[in-house]
Structures are given as C-alpha cells and as structure tokens.
Amino acid sequence: MPQGLAVPDGLPARVRIHEVGPRDGLQNEKAIVPVEVKAEFVRRLAGAGLRTIEATSFVHPKWVPQLADAEQLMPLLRDPRVQQDLADVELPVLVPNERGLDRALEHGVGRVAVFGSATESFARANLNRTVEESLAMFAPVVARAREAGVRVRGYLSMCFGDPWEGPVPAAQVVRVGKALLDAGCEELSLGDTIGVATAGQVAVLLREFADAGVGTDRLAVHFHDTYGQALANTLEALRRGVTVVDASAGGLGGCPYARSATGNLATEDLVWMLDGLGVETGVSLDALAGVSAWMAGQLGRPSPSRVVRALRGSSDRDGRDGRDGAADA
Amino acid sequence: MPQGLAVPDGLPARVRIHEVGPRDGLQNEKAIVPVEVKAEFVRRLAGAGLRTIEATSFVHPKWVPQLADAEQLMPLLRDPRVQQDLADVELPVLVPNERGLDRALEHGVGRVAVFGSATESFARANLNRTVEESLAMFAPVVARAREAGVRVRGYLSMCFGDPWEGPVPAAQVVRVGKALLDAGCEELSLGDTIGVATAGQVAVLLREFADAGVGTDRLAVHFHDTYGQALANTLEALRRGVTVVDASAGGLGGCPYARSATGNLATEDLVWMLDGLGVETGVSLDALAGVSAWMAGQLGRPSPSRVVRALRGSSDRDGRDGRDGAADA
C-alpha cells in the first residue's frame, strides 16, 4: 500500500473520483462484454467505494456497439438486489442529443453527460458538426435535462492537443467550455483526449478559466496516460484547486498492447497517489484492484494499470528489486 | 511531440538527466547483452543528447552476470571512433568497494558511484552488512577516488519504503544520506527502490534534508514507476529545487511483463514531461525513442516506456482515440 506521511501544502483534503470504466473504458475495448457482466462490474466498483460511476452511453448503437445494451443495462442496475448496493451511488450516462436524452429519461437517470469538442477538427470527426452546431445541439438537451431535474456534466475533448490541429489555444478551450457551462452544465470535464498534455499546460488552462470567471469548483480533469503524464498532470490540477478527477478502473480503454490505445488513467494509479498524499477518496485500493483483476479476466487480457499489475502479480516481490549485487566485487 | 506553453512557476530551467539504462537497466534485464551492443547503446544514447550515462558496474561478476563484461566494455568506449562521440559525455560506473574502485581506476574512469541503503534490511540483503558497516566500507572508496581526482556519486536505496520494514522515516534517510555526503560524495541520489513513494513523501524528505543543511543542489532523485508514480514524484522534486533526475532509456530494467519488474522511470517519459514543461534537457526525444526501440529489438521484447510505445507504434493514431460516437443517437 502507498505510504502517506503528510498532505503537501495546497492540496485538497478530499477528491471525488468520476469513474468512467463502464462507459469510456468499455466503449474503447474491442471485446463486447455481456450486459450481466457490466451490471456486476458497476456493482463491484460501488463495493470498492466509488460513488460516481458513469454507467453507459445512450449513443446510437451503430456508432458504439460496445454500449448497444444501454437499454438492457439500466434495468439490471435497478434490480432490487443490485440497487441496494448502489443506494448512494451516482450513475450518470452519456447522451449525445435529445433522442439520447429521451432514452435516458425513460430509464429514470438522475444525471447525464454531453460531450463537446474544443476543436473544429474533432467536432467534425466525432460529432459531424462544427463546434457552434454542436453547442446548438446540446443547448436543448441540457435545458430539458434540467427541467426534468437531471444534472448535466459537460465533457470537453481535445483541451490540450488535437491530432489534426496540434496544440489547442487555451482561450479557445475556455470559450467552448464556458458556453457549455453557460448552457447549464453544472460541471465541465477537461479532456486530454490524446494524452499529450503536460503539467505546464494544465496550469495555463486552469489559470485562463479562472481569469474567465470559472473556478475549479466547476471543473474536472480527464487525463490519458498515453505518454505517461496523467498523474503528473493530475497533481498539477489538484494543486490548482481541482477536486474532481476522471479515471477508469484498471485503465480500461487504454490497453498498452493495442495500437490505438487511448490510455485512460487507471483509477488504481490515481488512488495510489491520493492515498499516499493523504487525500481522501473513499475508495479501497485493494478492493478496487480486485475488481479490475476480475474484469481483466472477463476481457481475457491483463490490466494495463501499473498498480493492478504490481499488486496482483508480485507475490514474489521479495526485496530483490533494485538489488545491485552484494559488496564482494 | 509534447506541447509546452509555459514553464510553471518554481521549476528549474534545465534538468540534467542521469541515464542509468546501460547499468541499472541492463543489470535488471534477464537477457545478457553482447558487450559490443552495450558499447553501441552508450554511443547512441550520447547521440540522442544524454551527457551523463552510467556505463556499467564493477561489482563481482558472480553477483551481476549481466554486467560481468565491465572490463571488456570500457576499452570499447575508449575506441577512438566511439570516443569521438563521447567527448563531452560523463560515463560514471558503479563500484561496490575498494576492489571495484581499483578495477575502475585501471580503466581511467572519471566518475564512480557507491550504493548504500537507508534501511538495515536492504543493507543486509544487498550488501550483506549493517548500514554502519557499509558506510565504513564506502569511506575509503570515496576518499581514494577523490585522491585520484575521481568524483563520487552516492546512491541511497529504499529512501521511501522498504519491502521488509515498510515506510522509512525521513530522519533515518537523512542520517545515512548525510553520512555519504560527509564522506565525500558530491551528489546523493535518493532512490525509491520499490516504487512506493508518492509526492507527499518526496516533499517531506526534501524538506528534512534542507533542515539538515543539505540543499537540493547536492540531491538527485531516482524514482521507479512500479505504481505509476515516478513522474508525479519527479514533478514534486523539481518544484522543490532538484535538477538532477535519474532515468532509464526505454524503461529498461522495468519490463511490465516480468513479475519482479523494478519499473525504472523511462527516460522518454521524463523527457516528454520536461519538454512539455519547457525545461531543457538537451535530449532529442525522437532520437532517444529510436535508440530504445533499437535496444528493445536487441532484447527481443517491446519497450515498457509508454512514450516509446506511443511514438513508435502509433502510425494509425488518426484521431479515433477517444471517439465517443457521432451524434446520431
């Protein structure tokens, strides 16, 4: 277990983890997971102490076949035996548009998320719209959700770099992000979709949001570990006041063996750091690693999380690590 | 390539990377690499811009068979054709005791390193001595090296956690570290040998060293990525004034597929972060990733570095990463 001696100055006492494994994780896995396994996954994640678990996406099945069973999953999560375990757990779902919202509302969800893009290129690729058109599409979704008493999170992709456009100017991110918040999103999750951000950019972007009147109380961060930077970026964000961090149990969706790995930050790697910093999350690292090892078994491949690999595969870690050879030269 | 917009406050303008791949990396790889390949590895690392490359260890061959060819390697590095490429490169070698120092001096080395332990358990396991006995063993090594005009680095293992003893008190680390510096080491490398440290501990330990009169100008950090924390810990150390960081090209010595992986921080992952932060290293990330891909080929396995994998295996990374599905729900 990680070792915490003292919380460094300027870090929050508590972080809320927004667990995206069942949605963002599984949507980027090649395998199609049976819906009963997904329900069990959510239940086990809650058992490990996660209190915000993004459950699925009401996107059209033809776009994301991995989550085509959203309609089947939701009733399983409301099964009395399961629901007992999920009593104080938020289960937001992704909705791309009004039709998705309608489907979600039929299942009585209490929280939804919309997903915008900070760049024109990715808005075109992912949403088949300009940024302005996508904002116009989201406006009635957010408004109608709020009318129905449903809270809305806004995701913003490509907040740091874009594969077509390169570095993304912070002012551009702030403009689109502010539009999502002004439309009624209660929280904005800043995504480093291709994992290229470094801590310096994080500092700059958060400062620009602050200058625009958007405090860190309305911001979450969503880092990818494609280049190994997710935790360093998270540390910088915490230092700047962010207290909501997205992560994916076991690093789901970021398999290091796949060429197109998105590299989601593994929840275990995040919890290890936060435990060590003395920052509370309510999550049991051991229990969570067990859940991810179980899920990796369902997917038939090892977890990409370093912590899961280290905790679950190191029974022979007997101190030989780092051995330099005895002194008998 | 990483994207740097601004150097955050309080970070150094320049970091010196102490490259440990040929020594700490290869000593922990199962494969025995031919000595000619090792010499070529060092030459290529220098070509990528690294200026401090720990070349080998003069430990007894029976303890570290992977480096049993130290005597054969050194002449290859002094070959006129190679030496031209290494003109302004430091090539420190590890020496465990006076006999190791003698062997190193015969080869005209200009810099050596000794390796101590902050804990009794690891001193016993690694050096077959108590901490005090090991300090007594190092004293004449350091003294004689300095008499010969050779600079000495001190490694200190288990500075944060120990597999037998658990968390290691900072005061204990400072006591042993200070003894190594007082004995004549010019630089002390603080090792998180089992990779359990988190940023909070780093802050505490550096503060305790400062309180004991040891500034960060004499300290280096040596983090392992076993639990994914190395870069976050490095960021914390930089913020506290450290400017020398140990890393292993391609993450050598930390193969994620091996159970006893030590998880050396990959130099590429470090350079990615530092490039993004605007912190100069003199290293070309592209060239270095090429060297590590070449070395991985020599070892017959993929590099554990996330950056190497992402840069060398992502020609199809065409923006589909993080795709949420088009908006047609």
Of chain A, the percentage scoring pLDDT greater than 90 comes to: 75
Facing residue for B316 by CB, picked from A58, A259, A307: A259
Q: What is the pLDDT of residues A228-268, one digit of tens each?
A: 899 999 999 999 999 999 999 999 986 544 444 458 999 99
In this predicted structure, what is the pLDDT of residue A3? 57
For residues A33-40, average pLDDT:
96
Alpha-carbon gap, residue A163 to A171, rounded angstroms? 18
Please name every residue paired with B222 in a beta bridge, in sequence order, or none if there are none. B191
Residue pairs spanning A and B at CB distance below 8 A: 325
Contact B58 A329 (CB under 8 A): yes
Measured CA to CA in angstroms, residue A61 lies from A70, A77, A232 at distances of 9, 20, 35
For residues A203-227, average pLDDT:
96
User: Binning pLDDT at 50, 70 and 90, where does residue A309 land?
Assistant: confident
| Beta-carbon contacts of residue A4 (< 8 Å; ≥ 6 apart) | A275, A276, A277, A278, B198, B200, B201
Catalytic one among B255, B273, B289, B293? Answer: B255
What domains can you pick out in chain A, each with its CATH number? 16-310 (3.20.20.70)
In this predicted structure, what is the pLDDT of residue A80? 87
Q: What is the pLDDT of residues B150-207, one digit of tens each?
A: 999 999 999 999 989 999 999 999 999 999 999 999 999 999 999 999 999 999 999 9
The alpha helices in A150-214, defined as continuous H runs, are 170-182, 199-211
Write the single-letter amino acid at B312.
Answer: R
Q: Which of B207, B324, B328 to mutate to test the interface with A (most CBs of A within 10 A)?
A: B324
Contact B228 A269 (CB under 8 A): yes
Contact B226 A167 (CB under 8 A): no
In this predicted structure, what is the pLDDT of residue B244? 98
Show which of residues 242-301 on chain A sit within 8 Å of chain B, judged by CB atoms: 256, 259-263, 266, 269, 272-273, 275-278
Alpha-carbon gap, residue A110 to B293, rounded angstroms? 48
In this predicted structure, what is the pLDDT of residue A1? 56
In this predicted structure, what is the pLDDT of residue B258? 45
Contact A198 B276 (CB under 8 A): yes
Of chain B, the percentage scoring pLDDT greater than 70 comes to: 90
Helix H or strand E segment including A307? helix A306-312
Q: What torsion do the CA atoms of A6, A10, A16, A17 make, to the nearest 10 degrees?
A: -80
In this predicted structure, what is the pLDDT of residue B226? 87
Q: In chain A, where do the E strands start and end? A: 16-19, 56-57, 93-94, 111-117, 151-157, 161-162, 166-167, 187-191, 219-222, 244-247
Q: Is the model's pLDDT at B312 over the cut of 50?
A: yes
Measured CA to CA in angstroms, residue A85 lies from A25, A52, A73, A112 at distances of 22, 13, 16, 21
In this predicted structure, what is the pLDDT of residue B310? 85
A235 contacts on B by Cβ (under 8 Å): 199, 232, 235-236
Alpha-carbon gap, residue A40 to B273, rounded angstroms? 38
Interface contact B10, partner A, CB < 8 A? no
In this predicted structure, what is the pLDDT of residue B256? 47
Q: What ipTM was predicted for this assembly? A: 0.79
Angle between helices B230-239 and A230-239 (to 10 degrees): 40
| Beta-carbon contacts of residue A114 (< 8 Å; ≥ 6 apart) | A94, A95, A96, A138, A141, A142, A152, A153, A154, A155, A180, A185
Alpha-carbon gap, residue B253 to B256, rounded angstroms? 9
Q: What is the pLDDT of residues B66-96, one digit of tens each?
A: 999 999 999 999 988 888 889 899 999 999 9
User: Binning pLDDT at 50, 70 and 90, where does residue B329 land?
Assistant: very low
In this predicted structure, what is the pLDDT of residue B197? 94
Alpha-carbon gap, residue B306 to B270, rounded angstroms? 11
In this predicted structure, what is the pLDDT of residue A329? 38
Contact A201 B129 (CB under 8 A): no
Show which of residues 123-182 on chain A sit within 8 Å of chain B, judged by CB atoms: 125-129, 134, 137, 155, 157, 160-164, 166-167, 170
User: Binning pLDDT at 50, 70 and 90, where does residue B254 land?
Assistant: low
Pick the closest to residue A292 from A50, A113, A109, A107 (CA basis). A50
Is-contact A245 A266, C-beta < 8 A?
Answer: no
Q: What is the pLDDT of residues A144-201, one digit of tens each?
A: 999 999 999 999 999 999 989 999 999 999 999 999 999 999 999 999 999 999 999 9
Alpha-carbon gap, residue B205 to A77, rounded angstroms? 46
Q: What is the pLDDT of residues A96-155, one digit of tens each?
A: 999 999 999 999 999 999 999 999 999 999 889 999 999 999 999 999 999 999 999 999
Of A198 and B301, more confident = A198
Is-contact A20 A54, C-beta < 8 A?
Answer: yes
Interface contact B324, partner A, CB < 8 A? yes
In this predicted structure, what is the pLDDT of residue B261? 47
Q: How close, in Å, is residue B84 to chain A by CA atoms?
A: 30
- Chain-centroid distance of CA B189 in Å reads 9
Alpha-carbon gap, residue B264 to B308, rounded angstroms? 14
Is-contact A235 B235, C-beta < 8 A?
Answer: yes
Interface contact A228, partner B, CB < 8 A? yes
Pick the closest to residue B224 from B312, B290, B163 (CA basis). B163
Q: What is the pLDDT of residues A55-87, one digit of tens each?
A: 999 998 888 889 999 999 999 999 888 888 898
Give the three-state DSSP class for A308: helix
Contact A95 B329 (CB under 8 A): yes
